[in-house]
Amino acid sequence: MPAPPPARRASLHAIKEGPNPMANTVLTLKKKVDEGHKVTMVTSYDYTMAALTEAAGIDMILVGDSLGMTMMGYDSTLPVTMDDMVHHTRCVTRATENTFVVGDMPFMSYQASLEQALENAGRLMKEGRCQAVKLEGGARCVEQIRAMVEAGIPVVGHLGLTPQSVNAFGGFKVQGKSEEAARQLVDDALAIEAAGAFCIVLECVPANLATYITERLNSAFTIGIGAGNGCDGQVLVVQDMLGMTAGGFKPKMVRQFAQVGQVVVDAFHAYDEAIQSGDFPSSAESYKDLDPEVMNQVRSN
């Protein structure tokens, strides 16, 4: 019997070796939390940034619908479509082998019906090739979460400041500040955990309330953003943490770990100056001249 072609040999090798032992999974992430370690997550929306994130050993990437604001220039996440999310999620997953990638379900992609929710979540998994999906909302999303989990789709929940509800909240504000609102957040967290969510993002929630919610959960772990250090992990928008936001805007919850935006601007200035002065491209950055005889023949025609 002839040997299989190289591509087939590679796939047979993968089957023999089994799953990538270095890859983060729902189980390895939960084990990390159970052993007392923190989970790291950043947003990423493209191949290059995802490759850098993987090289740094970050546990999780969220392909957030925040790409509507960071990558597309909208003033909210509401205009983002399923096509947008599938496109950017696939860009990210092409660059990752070990990082656990979560694709965001955009506004009105899961609210209308269970059928709609399952179809769109399945599309994000099949076409985007992510390992889980994220959706915003508490008790009102229980049926969608349960249906997705039963279909074999891992789900991340999102409570607190949920940007898709920014109009209902009257702006980007801290959530859970009253006793009633705080109790509702706790109840919502327990409800979506019971429905099968393995992880819950807590955004713009008082730190002690986020810590309490984290302590109340059993099977799910928490990822905080503007929710204090009592959560099981943290997430930041990559453009925020790298100092790449237009106009230098920095939300209270963000720490800028670098000023990449200024580095890029300085590089563009230097590039422009080198071109204007004739310094770029130099001979070292140019290809070898044509043979003079050949060049003379070109000029004679």
The one-letter amino acid at 106:
P
Q: Which residues make Cβ contacts (< 8 Å) with residue 133, sequence separation at least 6?
A: 102, 103, 104, 105, 121, 124, 125, 148, 153, 154, 155, 156
Q: Which of 136, 127, 116 is nearest to 87 (CA)?
A: 127
Answer for the pair 217, 197: CB distance below 8 angstroms, yes or no: no
Q: By 3-state DSSP, what share of the chain in percent is helix, strand and coil, each rounded to 5?
A: 50, 15, 40
For residue 164, count CB atoms less than 10 angstroms from its CB and return exposed for 0-12, middle for 13-18, buried for 19 or more.
Answer: buried
Q: Which of 270, 232, 262 is nearest to 39 (CA)?
A: 232
Q: CA-to-CA distance for 141 and 159, rounded, in angstroms?
A: 11
Among 203, 215, 285, 293, the one annotated catalytic:
203
Q: Which two tokens stand for residue 56?
A: 């740094």
- Confirm whether 203 is a catalytic residue: yes
Q: Which of 162, 17, 34, 156 is nearest to 100 (CA)?
A: 156
Q: What is the DSSP string of 230-256?
A: TSSEEEE-HHHHTT--GGG---TT---
Residues designated as active site: 203
